[in-house]
Structure 1
Amino acid sequence: MMLQSDIEQAAEWVMNARRILFITGAGISADSGLPTYRGIGGLYEDKQTEHGIPIEVALSGDMMSTRPDITWKYLRQIEQSCRGAAFNQAHQVIADIEQLKPESWVLTQNIDGFHRSAGSKNVIEIHGQVGELVCTRCLQRQAVEDYSHIEGLPVCERCHNILRPNVVLFGEMLPEQAVMDLHREMVGGFDLVFSIGTTSVFPYISQPVYEARKWGAKVIEINPGITEVSPFVNVRLQMRAAHAMRQIGQAMGLSPKNTH
């Protein structure tokens, strides 16, 4: 009964809010079959790659600069293991809520692009987007559906330099535009904050939760486990993201759509 009353409370807060911030992490895309961050390491049984280095080293900015062939090898492996996945009902309900509340935003750590493909427009992809390649020299960008056509090192058609995914690799800075967008929206404040499927270990992911009290906003956390921000939220739904958001959508009277 307590869980159902929490769902109804969450739905009421959504309906009464004007500006909502959805903070999402790997847990929301896990319901689409994608591995969580720790699960990416799990693709390599002993936590080491074939090159005898941790996956975090293979997928670092330094490695991309010095040995892009190594970084691209594991990027292709990871992309292949996730290929064919699509957004799920959690992404869909968030997009539907944005239609009702057009001043709402998504701040996501995920690089899968599922929020945009589900229909969300106001999305801050703080770690970039795997479906976009960028030239390491001239910075020309190129959208790709997947990496199935990439063999060896992809090169730029314009300057013939190496392409890389437009994502934040380990040890790299966050994209300046995304940081500016987040700062701008934080200044405006929010009425309601969701923390969904993230352990909130990064300051830029946990900060909006801490700022909520200053804004007079409520905070809802959706996560099966306990996280860095759990002590600071108003409602905790210890559920998987798709299940929780589907129930919130139903409590709001949203029509369910066929999603993965």
Structure 2
Amino acid sequence: MNPPSPHSSLLAQAAGLLASAQRILFITGAGLSADSGLPTYRGVGGLYEGQLTELGIPIEQALSGLMFKRRPEVTWQYLARIEAACRGARPNAAHYAMARLEAMHGGVTVLTQNIDGFHTQAGSHDVIEIHGSLHTLRCTACARTRQVESYAGLALPPECPHCGGMLRPEVVLFGENLPEAAVQRYEAVLAAGPDLVISVGTGSAFPYIAGPVIWAAEAGIPTIEINPGHTPVSAHVEIQLPLRAAEALPALLEAAGLGLGASNA
């Protein structure tokens, strides 16, 4: 897919940065998976944008750690709806472009806020899921984990097959801390010093998402943002590409001479 001509110059500049980079950090958000048909954010995507749930509460309250402790059936009700919205969707051209870049180039890390697992499905290996994954369930009693392809057929809340305790997805609910292991991996990548940071499809609302982009820009490290709209990092990055991720990333890699084409999605 050819990008709109007004952005050709920006793509060429971004391609030059990509071609010379050795250690690339992608920071991705819900806008990336929107091109796979998933709604963006609020439910984790616009399932409840600007409105209350039918229980008369904000989605953030229904999907909070406090609600899970008090009324886990409520949290599970909405987690199941999010999983159902993801079910049947597939990685898109942007996911495949990043995975193929890692396979050809190495030195590529993906830090994602998304919980859909599309990066690993597309073939990326160095992926930090800072908000966890819908498809890893952990027992709140014995701490055993299990992988599930979907929630279809699960009783809600589901029980642990080992001890009968209640399962929960390994996702970060509102009000909960980020997973320590993922944070440590993220800090190690930043400490190692990426020489290109690319923000893709994220509103950069969280400090741990916007901060590294702004830090890199102020430190003279090349930065690129791929987002149709403006975000808190837009004024700081070296190049802002106002394009959809599935349109921009394959075109960017092709312009960099990496011969990835549109995608095999």
- Scaled by the length of structure 1, what TM-score is found? 0.94
Specify the SS of the correspondent of 1:231.
coil
Residues 15-34 of structure 1 correspond to what in structure 2 (within 5 A)?
Answer: 15-34=19-38
C-alpha distance after superposition, 1:132-170 (max 9, x if no partner): 101112211100001112122201122211000100011
Residue number among 196, 200, 204 corresponding to 2:208 in the alignment: 204
Runs of 5+ consecutive residues of structure 1 not aligned to the other structure: none
Letter in 2 for 1:109: Q
Structure 1 residues 179 and 255: CA distance shift in structure 2, 3 A: same
Letter in 2 for 1:83: R
Runs of 5+ consecutive residues of structure 2 not aligned to the other structure: none
C-alpha distance after superposition, 1:175-218 (max 9, x if no partner): 00000001111101111110111111111101221221465421
Specify the SS of the correspondent of 1:129.
strand
Specify the SS of the correspondent of 1:38.
coil
Residues 98-117 of structure 1 correspond to what in structure 2 (within 5 A)?
Answer: 98-117=102-121
Residue number among 40, 49, 54 corresponding to 2:53 in the alignment: 49
Residue number among 175, 178, 197 corresponding to 1:193 in the alignment: 197
Identity %: 53
Structure 1 residues 146 and 172: CA distance shift in structure 2, 3 A: same
How far apart, CA to CA, are the structure 2 residues paired with 1:77 and 1:120? 26
8 Å CA contact 2:7, 2:241 repeated in 1: yes
Letter in 2 for 1:174: L
Structure 1 residues 31 and 45: CA distance shift in structure 2, 3 A: closer
Matched, 1:62 2:41: no
Spell out structure 1 runs of 4+ moving beyond 6 A: none
C-alpha distance after superposition, 1:54-80 (max 9, x if no partner): 111111111111111111111112211
RMSD over aligned Cα, in angstroms? 1.6
Name the residue aligned to 2:83: 79
Residues 1-260 of structure 1 correspond to what in structure 2 (within 5 A)?
Answer: 1-38=5-42, 40=44, 42-44=46-48, 47-213=51-217, 216-251=220-255, 252=257, 253-259=259-265
How far apart, CA to CA, are the structure 2 residues paired with 1:169 and 1:225? 26
How far apart, CA to CA, are the structure 1 residues paired with 2:92 and 2:22? 24
Specify the SS of the correspondent of 2:235.
helix
Specify the SS of the correspondent of 1:170.
coil
Shift in Å, 1:249: 2.4
How far apart, CA to CA, are the structure 2 residues paired with 1:141 and 1:61? 19
